[in-house]
Amino acid sequence: MTKFKNNGARLRLLPVFLLAALVGACQEDIPDPVAVAEAALSAKPRPAKIFTVSDQVGLLSRRFTGRVEAVQTVDLSFQVAGKLIEMPVRESQEISKGELVAKLDPTDYERAVREAKLQLQQAKLDLGRLETLRARSVISEKSYDDQKNAYDLAIEALAAAEQNLEYTQIHAPFDGIVTRRLIDSFTTVNVGTAVVRVQDVSEVQIDINVPESMFAKVSEDLIASLNVEFPSLPGKMFPVTYREHSTEVDPVTQTYRVTLAMPRDPEVRIYPGMTAAVVVQVKPEGFDLENSFLVPVGAVAVDGSRNAYVWRFDDASGAVTKTPVQVGVVTGDYLPVTQGISKGDQIISAGVAYLSEGQIVRPLR
């Protein structure tokens, strides 16, 4: 009986040992959650903020409202009086230098030329006769001199008559646009009466008003770029160049006029009077834009030997590479890098202390 009881106890303990063994075996197969999480983080690309190196980063930008102006605006007028009989140009018409703009009735001036020619011919004949008489000592030297003066005056009278005849026509002094016809045809005009307004648009000029504070501080070597945008052409920027500026301040606005210019494109319809927005980018004072680039301060790290470096990002592989650089003095939120990077390089701009050589990152643009 006792033996039977011991066997029964052993039978009751057997499932307990089996259960423990099974549990232990299962626990060996279950992975460590912490290890799994760490492995997942190491396998997943680390998000990283990418910065593209550019020669335009860190520049101070100012925007000015301007107005398109003609190179010159001229009111054309006649230098002689008469009746306007011809004006072949129309408003908004483009004209070429030398093209006929307006014409007076030339009848009276043509008659004056014919009369001057006859008077010159007569004076020449009289002078010839007196030369013969002077050679024979028949007339005095004064009589000959008087006729010689009359002959010279006749030459001048003919030249003046011919010039007045030319003045009956107005020709375009330059390539431009007729902006306004100021009088109608068949109107009798006086000397100096403006008949047509013409603008020289050989190039597009934009006038802006610069505050005296900026005008006094910003020199030409500090200006990195000048660009203009027109409301009629949104999204398009055109480079402009400096032409001139006024040296007298506007007494009301305390600003100076600065004139900028760009080549005229026949395909782009830009005319005097249109508004424009000029964007001026200025280099920070003391910063050498030609020999260095501005990058965010967070993009540069220092190793144990106090050598500066950045992480260059390879867009194809997604890996980062440690790149030594030479840096200058901090300029606000940016640091000038003088060696080690080039325009267009992509570098990591934040969290650089947590990266390692060849690590794969996921760009955050």
Structural domain boundaries in the chain: 2-42, 47-58+289-364, 61-71+200-282, 77-197
Q: What is the mean pLDDT of residues 3-14?
A: 46
For 114-131, write each residue's pLDDT tens digit.
999 999 999 999 999 998
For 318-338, write each residue's pLDDT tens digit.
999 999 999 887 766 778 888
Query: What is the domain class of 77-197 according to CATH?
Result: mainly beta
More confident residue, 122 or 60: 122
Other residues' Cβ atoms within 10 Å of the Cβ of residue 200 = 19
Q: What is the pLDDT of residue 33?
A: 54
More confident residue, 20 or 361: 361
Of the options 1.10.10.10, 3.90.320.10, 3.40.50.800, 2.40.30.170, the CATH number for the domain spanning 61-71+200-282: 2.40.30.170
Cβ atoms 87, 185 nearer than 8 A: yes
For 167-177, write each residue's pLDDT tens digit.
999 999 999 99
- The angle formed by the CA atoms of residues 39, 353 and 306, to the nearest 5 degrees, is 140
Query: What is the domain class of 47-58+289-364 according to CATH?
Result: mainly beta
Q: What is the pLDDT of residue 19?
A: 36
* Statement: residue 71 has pLDDT above 80: yes
Q: What is the mean pLDDT of residues 237-251?
A: 92
Q: What is the mean pLDDT of residues 289-315?
A: 87
Q: How far is Cα 360 from Cα 341, in angstroms, rounded to an integer?
A: 20
Look up residue 51 and give its DSSP letter.
Answer: E
Least confident piece of the model among 32-41, 217-226, 266-275: 32-41
Calculate Rg over the CA atoms of the chain. Answer: 45
Specify whether the backbone of 356 is left (phi greater than 0), alpha (psi in -120 to 50) or beta. Answer: beta
